[in-house]
Structure 1
Amino acid sequence: MYAILDIETTGGKYNEEGITEIAIYQYDGHKVTDQFISLVNPQREIQPFVVNLTGINSNMLRNAPKFYEVAKRIVEITEDCIIVAHNSSFDYRILKTEFKRLGFPYKRKTLCTVELSKQLIPDMESYSLGKLTRALGIPIADRHRANGDAMATVKLFKMLLNKDLDKVIVKDAIKIEQKSKMSSNLNNIIDELPSDTGVYYIHNVDGEIIYIGKSKNIRKRIIQHFTGTNSKSKKIQKLVNTVTYEKTGSELAALLKESAEIKKNKPIFNRALRRSIFTHALYSYTDSNGYINLQIDKSDREDAPITTFSTRASGKHFLFKAVEDFNLCQKLTGLYTTKTSCFKYEVKECLGACINEEPIEVYNNRVNLLKEKFSYDNKNMLIIDKGREIEEKSVFLIENGIFKGMGYFELNHQINNLKILKSVITPMTNDRDSQHIIQSYLRRNKRLKIIDLNKD
């Protein structure tokens, strides 16, 4: 659990400042679960430059509660939470100073979104909250007011959690939670899980990830783990202390994150992703007559496939339909072995590429239409899919046929501006697994929105 906050102060000498406004959002890693926003009477003078910056003056604070009147609420909303703030050393110091004046020792673990941003979003021009959120396309209202800055920090932190493929933030949070609150009762763990698409992480008592999986229904899949009777399920049931999860909205996002995060975290109960997940692929080559031939083959070849399949049978099924949809020759797709004409030619459904009757260019144009539809080789494009919430979409960036990464956006200008887009995107590896996952998903989901970046 996190307490994401922002504090405005009077300014003045070090450790003599007073709080003028505070906003705290309790955040469970997925949604805001509680909030506290209040002006505070600091009982001291506000520096003129602070008045100009924040717009908060002494008249506004005359009837505001004093710090001791809101201290209990602050303790409650931040209890068992990690304090998250942009430049957390400042906000945490101010809070500790105010509590010290009351004779109360206030101690919390902190996370700084400035430092996290430098690690997870390197090479930004500035890491000030205003400039950073602008560069990322995150809307910010009431700049230099506690509520506006705290809400912007919530949105920034949500993005940082998504970019943290090593899961350092989550693992650290689990380690410091009181173990008495970490239930190892399997039913209690299940009760906290959503029935949404996403990636889930099974942790042991030390917070270490022992298994990573993905599912269209996280809760249902964890129930299967907890009721399974095979050797792996029994070991997981014995060691599990908690389950965290990340909703992705998009199944493609879940597949890609699962693949990337297994490689990075290497959980003890995850075998390396098997190459046999996509055992076969569709390839093309030009024969001695100049016609483009299609062929289903094992997916371990060096040349780039058009698309991939989990079995040879599913590949052949795809080819039979492609022959119909694109009016292709059975012989040149490997579906009809013959030294003469194919069967479809005999029933006048093939135009004769099998016996060199159809013009090469005419036939090859139809094959290229198929390749264009089912391959992203050399393309510059965005794949747009479901987001985690109604107002959000997921985006996947392909440049020159290379998968660059994925992210989430709410506003169109976040993907229309290439500089903002690349800041929103979480970089991911363009390995064979990610290529297979994307090609297969594109083939199976024909209603995806695709944006061609080469078009104006």
Structure 2
Amino acid sequence: MYAILDIETTGGKYNEEGITEIAIYKFDGHEVVDQFITLVNPERPIQPFVANLTGINNEMLRNAPKFFEVAKRIVEITTDCVVVAHNSSFDYRILRTEFDRLGFDYERHSLCTVELSKKLIPDQESYSLGKLVRSLGIPLSDRHRANGDALATVKLFKLLLSKDVEKDIITDTVRADTRRQMDDKLLRLLEKAPIATGVYYIHREDGKIIYIGKSKNIKKRLNQHFTNDNKKSRRIQTEVTSVSYEITGSELVALLKENEEIKRNRPKYNRALRKSKFDQALYQFVDNNGYINLKIGKNDNRKKNITTFSNRQQAKSYMHKWAETFRLCQRLMGLDSGTGNCFNYSIKQCNGACILDESPEEYNERVQELILKNSFENQDMLIIDRGRNIDEQSAILIEEGKFIGVGHFTLNHQINNIEILRSIITPMSHNRDAKHIIQSYVRQNKKLKITKLPKND
């Protein structure tokens, strides 16, 4: 059974879009047996270019049902179905995002008619829905409206089924149905797993750990291990006999424990995780005029860096943000390679260090503020995050710029007394992976509480 659908959205930033219209046709491989079509109030404005494209405007949706009001019907009509869409990665992602906002874990197997068309109808000039169906003589009305596009996708899918002489589509569907019927062993293990943030350990019959992972939802992550069809997942499914876990509450604590435990236990199915990838680093140097320059470069363990990044694109993104936040010069941050003043100076977001209008002392003070915020060098601090329950918090201890360990506390006096604090901290290894994990997490989670600790006498 297939749920062939099309979704129109508000447009906007990735994963911030809202659904404005959805059409679903339940198709048994021969004919449509059920359908659901509705406008949806996205509770956010529609981007003007999207309104022009679809003809759907904010006024039309004012009295339309909100997503939570139609969610039950969507679940019902797609249950035990393979979701089919033209560019299914988009429609399925949007649908899952909406359900995530409701706290519901929506998972379906999916098929993409773009990918199927490229395989079964090769050498087409275009695989966009409009141009493709037009070239195949399939009628399409109400282009860029959910109902018109979904109906065209139904007709296209019928054609693809008829062209699928190898029966790959049917085989994929049967395989998806089979995967849903998880064997009793895996179901028993899954039933015991918590819906919580933490680290989990997959054991084989002799108790040896064969895989370690972390997740904000351990049960959901294990379900993925037990239903995925890739080579590693199938091996894990065969070998697993038990799963143990440690709830951490904090995702940062879970990341640090995962990193530590993988290095210590070296599980055979964690080989891909043993080497963390953070190949870009932030360096500093003082130029001939006395200004501190910041520079992104290849991470070199022989050189002292301020912080590290997963990739160059991420590094550049943060550099632009910091230039704006700290009013730093793009030229001195390697973001502007021209001569004369930098671009930010022309829009009054740089104080003129690039043309020596600002003194090195004033400029360097703000650079040092940025460095202090993003480097743990010689710092004593406590990072406070979520605990394992509502009355508890987690603590990550840094001393002299080194990661010491993690712990959980319930009373303020436990962290106000350094000796008590050290007694509740579980020691962990300080290494470049742990440092990167902490710095990256702190950058991305602005609401974290960070407490500076007094220096020892």
Partner of 1:309: 309
- Residue by residue over 1:199-222, the C-alpha shift from the partner in whole angstroms, topping out at 9 and shown as x without a partner, is 000000111100000011111111
Partner of 1:271: 271
Deviation at 1:288, TM superposition (A): 2.0
Deviation at 1:341, TM superposition (A): 2.4
Structure 1 segments of 4 or more deviating over 4 A? none
Secondary structure, in 3 states, of the residue corresponding to 1:383? strand
Secondary structure, in 3 states, of the residue corresponding to 1:278? coil
Partner of 2:88: none
Deviation at 1:272, TM superposition (A): 6.1
Aligned pairs for 1:54-93 within 5 A: none
- Residue by residue over 1:314-336, the C-alpha shift from the partner in whole angstroms, topping out at 9 and shown as x without a partner, is 11111111111111101111111
Deviation at 1:275, TM superposition (A): 4.1
- Opposite residue 424 of structure 1, the aligned amino acid is I
Aligned pairs for 1:90-129 within 5 A: none
Secondary structure, in 3 states, of the residue corresponding to 2:271? coil
The TM-score, its normalising length taken from structure 1, stands at 0.58
Check conservation: 1:293, 1:332, Cα contact below 8 A: yes
Partner of 1:451: 451
Moved more, 418-427 or 345-354: 345-354
Secondary structure, in 3 states, of the residue corresponding to 2:269? coil
The 1-side partners of 2:422 and 2:442 are apart by 22
Deviation at 1:295, TM superposition (A): 1.4
Aligned pairs for 1:313-352 within 5 A: 313-352=313-352
The 2-side partners of 1:311 and 1:205 are apart by 39
Partner of 1:412: 412
Aligned pairs for 1:37-436 within 5 A: 185-271=185-271, 273-436=273-436
Deviation at 1:359, TM superposition (A): 0.3
Distance 1:214 1:339, change over 3 A: same
Check conservation: 1:252, 1:438, Cα contact below 8 A: yes
The 1-side partners of 2:405 and 2:272 are apart by 21
- Residue by residue over 1:101-130, the C-alpha shift from the partner in whole angstroms, topping out at 9 and shown as x without a partner, is xxxxxxxxxxxxxxxxxxxxxxxxxxxxxx
- Opposite residue 362 of structure 2, the aligned amino acid is V
Distance 1:336 1:388, change over 3 A: same
Deviation at 1:448, TM superposition (A): 1.1
Deviation at 1:346, TM superposition (A): 3.5
The 2-side partners of 1:305 and 1:274 are apart by 22
Check conservation: 1:282, 1:306, Cα contact below 8 A: yes
Check conservation: 1:184, 1:242, Cα contact below 8 A: no
Check conservation: 2:263, 2:274, Cα contact below 8 A: no
- Residue by residue over 1:37-76, the C-alpha shift from the partner in whole angstroms, topping out at 9 and shown as x without a partner, is xxxxxxxxxxxxxxxxxxxxxxxxxxxxxxxxxxxxxxxx
Identity %: 56
The 2-side partners of 1:294 and 1:277 are apart by 22
Secondary structure, in 3 states, of the residue corresponding to 1:269? helix
- Opposite residue 358 of structure 2, the aligned amino acid is E
Deviation at 1:408, TM superposition (A): 0.9
The 2-side partners of 1:315 and 1:402 are apart by 23
Check conservation: 1:381, 1:452, Cα contact below 8 A: yes
Deviation at 1:274, TM superposition (A): 4.7
Deviation at 1:449, TM superposition (A): 1.1
Deviation at 1:437, TM superposition (A): 0.5
Give structure 2 stretches of 5+ with no counterpart: 1-182
Distance 1:251 1:401, change over 3 A: same
The 2-side partners of 1:302 and 1:275 are apart by 18
Secondary structure, in 3 states, of the residue corresponding to 2:193? coil
The TM-score, its normalising length taken from structure 2, stands at 0.58
Check conservation: 1:263, 1:272, Cα contact below 8 A: no
Deviation at 1:276, TM superposition (A): 4.5
The 1-side partners of 2:376 and 2:203 are apart by 37
Check conservation: 1:330, 1:342, Cα contact below 8 A: yes
- Opposite residue 429 of structure 1, the aligned amino acid is S
- Opposite residue 452 of structure 2, the aligned amino acid is D
Partner of 2:441: 441
The 2-side partners of 1:401 and 1:215 are apart by 27
Deviation at 1:386, TM superposition (A): 0.6
The 1-side partners of 2:251 and 2:303 are apart by 27
- Opposite residue 340 of structure 1, the aligned amino acid is G
- Opposite residue 389 of structure 2, the aligned amino acid is E
- Opposite residue 432 of structure 1, the aligned amino acid is R
- Opposite residue 217 of structure 2, the aligned amino acid is N
- Opposite residue 305 of structure 1, the aligned amino acid is N
The 2-side partners of 1:368 and 1:360 are apart by 12
The 2-side partners of 1:324 and 1:370 are apart by 12
Secondary structure, in 3 states, of the residue corresponding to 1:300? coil
- Opposite residue 217 of structure 1, the aligned amino acid is N
The 1-side partners of 2:360 and 2:308 are apart by 26
Distance 1:222 1:212, change over 3 A: same
The 2-side partners of 1:273 and 1:291 are apart by 39
Distance 1:319 1:442, change over 3 A: same
Check conservation: 2:380, 2:455, Cα contact below 8 A: no
- Opposite residue 208 of structure 2, the aligned amino acid is E
- Opposite residue 232 of structure 1, the aligned amino acid is K
The 2-side partners of 1:393 and 1:297 are apart by 36
Distance 1:348 1:417, change over 3 A: closer
- Residue by residue over 1:2-24, the C-alpha shift from the partner in whole angstroms, topping out at 9 and shown as x without a partner, is xxxxxxxxxxxxxxxxxxxxxxx
Deviation at 1:455, TM superposition (A): 7.5
The 2-side partners of 1:274 and 1:341 are apart by 45
- Opposite residue 360 of structure 2, the aligned amino acid is I
The 1-side partners of 2:309 and 2:297 are apart by 10
Secondary structure, in 3 states, of the residue corresponding to 1:277? coil
